[in-house]
Amino acid sequence: MTLHERVIRFADDGARGRAAAVVSRVFVGIGAVSRLLDGVAESGARRGVVIADGAVAATVAAEVESGLSARGLTTALIAVPAGETSKSAAEAVRLWEALAGLPADRATHVIAVGGGVVGDLAGFVAATFVRGLPVWQVPTTLVAQVDSAIGGKTGINLAAGKNLVGAFWQPVGVACDPAALATLPDREYRSGLAEVVKYGVILDSELFVWLEDSVDSILAREPAAITHLVGRCVDLKATVVEADEFERSGLRAILNYGHTIGHAIENLAGYGRLLHGEAVAMGMTAAARLALATGRLPVEIARRQAALLARFGLPLAPVGIAGLSVEGIVEALSRDKKSLHGRVRFILPTDLGRVGIVDDLDSGLVREVVADLLSGS
């Protein structure tokens, strides 16, 4: 199977103190991790600090550390407790102190091994320690391979909401290997498929149709199917973030489809109660209902989205989850970091492969759709 490589090129940005263009290389397929480790060694790094999710510290992360050592680097491995609660200021401080104790210097590279939590946390720590260490990503969950490891968004959560503190810090390289997903729990794997469906809805109708036709091979985790869907999602996200790295033009905002209400549900339910992709699936369902109610979306497209999410075993509504209320969700929406001048911005579909940014929705309609979602109707 051929290794797929996507080079993402970001322009100079002197306004943010970046005087030269940045390039990220994403490798997709069997052998991607080995290719990334070659890249670390070829970069001139002298030390590799592996920051890993505790669930993969003894497996994938240990193999990464061994591979770095075999290539002549001094190594260290720091495990992070599994779960969303690790995306915290307290955990960032612990990692900063650990790096200081090595001590890490500018010839030290950080290699994040794990899902979106570790990728976001380790990326943020790398972006801020000694004003920036190079970071490489080895995502071991599907949601990280197709989304969070690509594009340089890093951050930690606050009690008020997800990802409220962070930085844009592009990884030097990313390795998306189907083998890294082999032991991923079924629920985690299905959660990642919400982000895959998202790309089909917002950018690529052909991908959406392929997903409809390939449910069985995708759920069976066939390497060829995984490599195809991850490679396509990487290419789609790369095209968007190349054009709007810092979310200035509004183009990158379309990647938040399903995340506005989804993040509110995830936050209020309590981090760890819902997986990210599960919350996004609910948010996509709500967004499609808003688009239907405002005459933007044909009923058939909303039906097909719901059917595909259901075939992948994803929840469409937060039925039976305590701590959720219409008022709570609406209030959380007002704090969303994507809001502009106090107006909540929604990404709403208009057809397969097309969405629009809307910030003038009637608050009563939003409440009505949220209420229907919570009731499971």
Active site residues: 131, 153, 195, 237, 247, 252, 256, 259, 263, 276
For residues 318 and 324, the answer to whether their CB atoms sit within 8 Å is yes
What span, in angstroms and rounded, lies between the C-alpha atoms of 76 and 342? 45
Q: What is the residue-wise DSSP string for 262-309? A: HHHHHHHH-BTTB-HHHHHHHHHHHHHHHHHHTT-S-HHHHHHHHHHH
The rounded distance, in Å, linking the Cα atoms of 266 and 347 is 18
E runs forming strands in the chain:
4-10, 22-28, 47-53, 74-80, 108-114, 135-139, 153-158, 161-168, 173-176, 346-351, 354-358
CA distance 276 to 67: 31
- Cα–Cα distance, 288 to 170 (Å, whole number): 32
d(CA 185, CA 32): 21
> CA–CA separation, 129 vs 97, rounded Å?
10
Show the tokens assigned to 333.
Answer: 């929406």
- Terminus-to-terminus CA distance in the chain, angstroms? 45
**CA dist., res. 333 & res. 264, Å (int):** 6
Query: Do 197 and 312 form a contact (C-beta atoms < 8 A)?
Result: yes
Measuring CA to CA, which residue among 72, 64, 61, 9 is closest to residue 36?
64
Distance between CA atoms of residues 317 and 319, nearest Å: 6
As given in the structure block, the two tokens for residue 46 are: 């002298």
